[in-house]
Every structure is written in structure tokens, then in C-alpha cells.
Amino acid sequence: MKNIAIIGAGTMGNGIAHTFAQFDYNVSLIDVSKDNLDKGIATITRNLDRMVSKEKISEEDKKRTLGNISTFTSLADGAKDADLVVEAATENEKIKLEIFKELDSLCPAKTILATNTSSIPITKIAAVTGRPKQVIGMHFMNPVPIMKLVEIIRGYNTSDDITNQVVELAKNLGKVPTEVNDYPGFVANRILMPMINEAVETLYNNVAGVEEIDTVMKLGMAHPMGPLQLADFIGLDVCLSILEVMYEGFKNPKYAPCPLLVNMVRAGKLGVKSGEGFYDYSESKKAEKVSSQFVS
């Protein structure tokens, strides 16, 4: 596999594109918005500049990585020669199913179709294609260029050969591929999201404040980031979407989103991306100031 198409130039998509390009794959970064593509390339450039300043890569490495990336606003143009497509669009089931239907009709018969979904069943996505044996989950962690884990999720019909190819590909990127089964939330989010939801419940029930909850988990459980800060980093809308998928998939009340989380998303308080969540990011992208709504 040499030609990789990435769908979506947002946080995950540009990180995945950066990683493949840095390891000398030919990357087609696809997004319906030219503005999103420009922002994605700007983010990749900033991240590469940071690596150069820390002497992790050379200026030549940076130029080579950027030279390996081409941008497209057309799915047909960007994916037509792909050996592998990695879909990293928004975590919306309807959108993902539409993308995979289109990919199935556009891509060569050899193309492997992967999704970076964090919760939607791979088997469900594969079912809208005529190549379910070639559909697989590649769930990268954010920030992609730094985080080593890739959850490899095989659908009900994913072949052994495709799974083995994708596992080896992840290793070629310097990642640690970990195979998990196709159930809502997989492993990472099946464990992480209930913890975040419980942290929100703890705040909702006035057991403790935002900083206190995060401090307990950082200093008491050795987490590098507290659950509320992490939720802001992920995006509260993304957390809510994953919890809703898990609640729908299991019908278990323990996955029901906390009403506070639901209301914050409705109010547009999405975390870092919107400038406010549990913390206020109007002055700094770091969680240095608790949002005024949680200050008594």
C-alpha cells in the first residue's frame, strides 16, 4: 500500500494525514471545504515546525512530509487511485454511511476501506458496501502524530488478510495496533466515556467542582489530564455522540448521557473548539480558567 486517501481535514484527519505523509506514503487529503483543507495543512505545518524546533525532525523532513500531501475537494478525484481510504469525517452515522456507499462505487476493487470511527459498528458501515471483507476500523488516538495506539476493529465479515495488512501498516507508522471486537465504543471509549460521564455526573450533583474533580483523577489516579479537561479536549459534542451510540447499542442506563452534558452541547459549549466547556479557553487553549458557569 502506497497511496492513502484521508477523508476529513479536521483534528483527526489532518493528524492521520500528517502521520502517513511523514512515513513517505502518498496522501490525498479530502474535504468538501477548501477552507478546512487550508486549515488542515496549516495545522500540519505548525506541528512539523514544532518538531523541527525540538530537533525531532529536520527542515528537509518537514518539506518532504508536506510534499507527500495533495488536497482535494472531490471524493472521486482524491480516492480514485487509493490503496487504502481512511474516513475521518464527523462522528455522525448517517454521514459515514453515505460516504462509504460513495466510496464503494468510486474506488478500485482492491481498495481497503477503513474508518476512524470511535463508536459506530464497523459491521453496520460495511453493510452498505459491496466489499464487507475489505472494511475495517482504524481508530487513531488524538493527537495522532504522538499517540501510539491504533484500535484495529474487524467487522463481522472483515477478512483475516485485510486485518493482517492493516495491522502491519499501523506498525509501519510506528504505532501499536491492538485488535478489538466490533461492539459499540470498542475498548477505548467503552471504558473512557462512562468515566467522563461519571465525572460530569459528579459535577452535576455538586459533589465537587471542576478543578477538584480533575485534581483527584490527576494526582490520585496518575491520569495526565483530568476527565473534564479531557472531555473539553475531545469535544463535548463528540463525547455526547459516542455515549448516545453506546446507549442505543446496549440499552443499558449506565451509558445514558448526563443531563448537564446534553445541555452544554445544546448551548454550544463544546470545549476547546468553541472556546468554552468546563474550562474557559477565551484567553488560552490550556485549561487554566474554569468556565464562569461553574464558579459559585
Check whether 91 is labelled as a binding-site residue.
yes
Any known ligand binding at 142?
Answer: yes
Catalytic, out of 47, 116, 119, 189 = 189
E strand intervals along the chain: 3-7, 26-30, 69-72, 84-87, 112-115, 135-140, 149-154, 176-180
Residues 6+ apart with CB under 8 A from 278: 203, 210, 228, 229, 231, 232, 271, 287, 290, 291, 294
* Catalytic residue of the set 18, 36, 87, 151: 151
Distance CA 42, CA 54 (A): 19
CB within 8 A of 165, min separation 6: which ones?
A: 1, 112
Find cell 466490533 and name the residue.
Answer: 182
On whether 273 is known to bind a ligand per the annotation, the reply is yes
Select which of 36, 87, 119, 139 is catalytic. 139
**CB-based contact 261:240 (threshold 8 Å):** yes
88 labeled part of a ligand binding site: no
Q: Are 117 and 141 in contact (CB under 8 A)?
A: no
9 is in an annotated binding site: yes
The response to whether 73 counts as a known ligand-binding position is no
Is residue 13 marked as binding? yes
Task: Residue 86: name the closest of 28, 147, 159 by CA.
Answer: 28
Active-site residue identified among 28, 36, 68, 118: 118
Is position 175 annotated in a ligand binding site? no
Is 223 noted as a catalytic residue in this protein?
no
Whether the CA torsion 10, 15, 20, 21 is positive or negative: it is positive
Q: Is 10 annotated as a binding residue?
A: yes
**Distance between CA atoms of residues 111 and 5, nearest Å:** 10
Q: Is 139 a catalytic residue?
A: yes
Count of CA atoms in the C-beta half-sphere (13 A) of 126: 21
Active site residues: 118, 139, 151, 189
Q: Which residues are annotated as a binding site?
A: 8-13, 31, 91, 96, 118, 142, 273
Known binding residues for NAD(+):
8-13, 31, 91, 96, 118, 142, 273
